[in-house]
Chains A and B, each alone.
Chain A
């Protein structure tokens, strides 16, 4: 950790700065398959897997990620990238919390670098990052072979402790002072990334994170 570097603001994305989660994105792509039959099949399949997604997420964010992204297997890279703009306009942009732009603006006002660390897929959030004025981001990357997704995620998988590890390495590389930095998340799974900065903040927290934040006197924000 650098002692005198710049301060930064590290944000989790979904549930923290916007109301959507990974399933909304998957459902968006499911509705945009080639042909009506494939669209219905994919949409119904996604809907049917919802309880399983929920259960694996409760068990472990890493297990969830491995299982969840398999749903993208067989999707063409061109198609995924082509619809990413529509995804931003129709799904992500309307889901930005009212308080998100204010929070980022205040953070920028005091000279903090803006960084998002998310389990979402990189190509799905590129436009969103520009829109929010984020300086850097780390997201999950799908593996593509011959232009088609294999359903695997290229390491490192951005979740839990991996986010904290990435932050430490980033801070070392970019001369960021973590003691002066802020981290924002809505989920207890991000406890590692919240724990390594001087100013952890819970945003719209789940029950367990709210308990943790209260016990540790962390600020609790509602951006809705």
Chain B
């Protein structure tokens, strides 16, 4: 029996048997070691694809040999107005070691601009309604040479509330308006530098979402679109993606977009921390020492210090592919690479899905993972990392491990606080919240100013985060938080709590039966489960 269970169906999938080691699970800013029931299927991230040896050469080759477009150098002329837009700090996760891939792309593209006599160049961060990046973060992203040359007049964050610098370029046939960054859209050429982490990113989303305003965004960042996306990590089956493509075509009608997309491998952690993504059964003596050292270090630090330490560990992502040219064609190529890196064939759904929640999300870089973000990680990202069908059976139980502390960053997430404490106790219905309160938050003068002048997420962003969990919320029967340090946060989110994972599994089995199939996503991981019967 044990031997049969131990047999691997895929290199990233193992089954727990009597002799299996306990598993390391993220628990917010900490990591815990847990015994998992025999028979549990544990899914690990795929091993990283080998990175390209010379990423600058790969990028240069891509812009010189674009798909369905003239090479970039052939499109540049003296006196042209050029805007280079790029992804914000939400990509990749955690922030990668320097030099960031965007720096290398910029060095290649800016060299080419200079060589072709193009002086009028602006660099814009396509942060959409995300928080604006700080000067320090911007410098880290592009390097000090480019930063010193362009910041602040020609290197800045997109401002989705700056009416003077936004322009409406039209509507889709479904009356969805699109108002975007004026400088970008009125440039002779808009070069977009993308860093694709998951299949949801990139493509038309880069410009049509990254550089738009609130009114444009709320047309697709809404509960029904998310419900209709099965999942939003699978573009062909994502209603969100379909809407964004329509908007992207509008962009293409008004602007010459030259898209540069990159795909990276999933080497998330540097040596020393790489044990977090590996099979514990295969740990060497040294690996166990690394774990003990890490556990003791983290265990002796207060939460804030643990968070700071974690945020200082840069990801070791490497470039595995770069393509440039026409947006859709380029994106197809990048998606192929994404799937090659992330896709894990999984046979059969499960009744109970266990997923630890690490302190890593697109929205809490250098701040706390507040309860709304815990929700978006659980029911949004972790739930949606599938193709074909959800990993969890409809009505199944999801178990997450996180302290669920009631902590918010007032500078980055001011509207989240009001959303959580004022709105959620009234209703968790995404449609009701959107109808009654979304605009109030979006137009709140204090939130608008905190977004524009500070580093706050837009007032409406908390709503989008709630909608982001909508298909997960509709699908999951119960969600149990193991280790929640208080009762009120899970209660407000509509979840149950358990003191620990063992208790949570017992609760889940009481709902789903003793023979319930259990699967655990070995977080932190980026992996896309292709689930078949």
Q: Given contacts A217-B410, A217-B417, are A182 and B453 in contact (CB under 8 A)?
A: no
* A80 CA to B450 CA, complexed, in Å: 38
Which residues of B (465-509) have their CB < 8 Å from a CB of A? none
Q: How does the 8 Å CB contact mask read for B417-435 relative to A, with 1 for contact and 0 for none?
A: 1100100000000000000
Q: Are B449 and A223 in contact (CB under 8 A)?
A: yes
B148 at interface, CB cutoff 8 A: no
Of B411, B421, B453, which one neighbours A217 at CB under 8 angstroms? B421
Q: Quick one: closest B residue to A109, CB to CB? A: B443
Contact partner of A219 among B161, B414, B452, CB < 8 A?
B414
How far is A186 from B207 in the complex, measured between Cα atoms in Å? 39
Give the contact-size bracket for chain B: 10 to 19
In the bound complex, CA of A222 to CA of B411 (Å): 10
A220 within 8 A of B: yes
A 184-222 to B, binary, CB cutoff 8 A, 1 in contact else 0? 100000000000000101000000000000100101111
A217 to B418: give the CA distance in the assembly, Å.
8
Query: Is the C-beta of A103 less than 8 angstroms from some C-beta in chain B?
Result: yes
8 Å CB contact of B454 from A184, A217, A222:
A222
Does B448 interact with chain A (Cβ within 8 Å)?
Answer: yes
Contact B449 A182 (CB under 8 A): no
B445 → chain A, closest Cβ, in Å? Answer: 4
Is the CB–CB distance between B453 and A199 below 8 Å? no
Evaluate whether A106 and B450 lie within 8 angstroms (CB atoms) in the complex, with A217-B418, A219-B414 already known.
no
Residues in A89-109 with C-beta less than 8 Å from chain B: 98-99, 102-103, 106-107, 109
B156 within 8 A of A: no
Q: Is the interface of B mostly helix, strand, loop or mixed?
A: helix
* Total contacts A-B at CB 8 Å: 53
B444 contacts partner chain A, Cβ-Cβ < 8 Å:
yes
Main secondary structure of the interface of A (DSSP, over half): mixed
- Check: B135 CB closer than 8 A to any chain A CB: no
Most buried by B among A98, A106, A219: A219
User: From residue B231, how far is it (CB to closest CB) to chain A in Å?
Assistant: 33
CB of B446 within 8 Å of the partner chain: yes
Alpha-carbon separation in the docked complex, A110 to B454 (Å) = 21
Closest Cβ of chain A to B405, distance in Å, is 15
Q: How large is the interface on A (under 10, 10 to 19, 20 to 34, 35 or more residues)?
A: 20 to 34
- Flag whether B447 is at the interface (Cβ < 8 A): yes
Query: How far, in angstroms, from A103 to B445 measured CA to CA in the complex?
Result: 6
Q: Are B444 and A102 in contact (CB under 8 A)?
A: no
Chain A: minimal CB distance from B135 (Å):
15
Task: Please give me the residue from chain A that is nearest to B439 by CB atom.
Answer: A110
Whether the Cβ atoms of B445 and A223 lie closer than 8 Å is no
B351-393 contacts to A, CB under 8 A, are none
Minimum C-beta distance from B453 to chain A (A): 5
Q: Which 7 A-B pairs have the closest CB atoms?
A: A219-B446, A106-B445, A201-B446, A107-B445, A217-B417, A110-B443, A106-B448
Given A103-B445, A199-B444, 17 new contacts (CB under 8 A): A102-B452, A102-B453, A103-B446, A107-B445, A109-B443, A110-B443, A182-B445, A182-B446, A184-B446, A217-B417, A217-B418, A219-B414, A220-B411, A221-B449, A222-B453, A222-B454, A223-B449
Interface CB pairs A-B, < 8 A, 13: A99-B449, A102-B449, A102-B452, A103-B446, A106-B445, A106-B449, A107-B445, A109-B443, A182-B445, A217-B410, A217-B417, A221-B453, A223-B449
Seen from chain B, the residues whose Cβ lies within 8 Å of a Cβ on chain A are 161, 408, 410-411, 414, 417-418, 421, 443-450, 452-454
Give chain A's interface residues, CB within 8 Å of chain B: 9, 98-99, 102-103, 106-107, 109-110, 112, 182, 184, 199, 201, 214, 217, 219-223
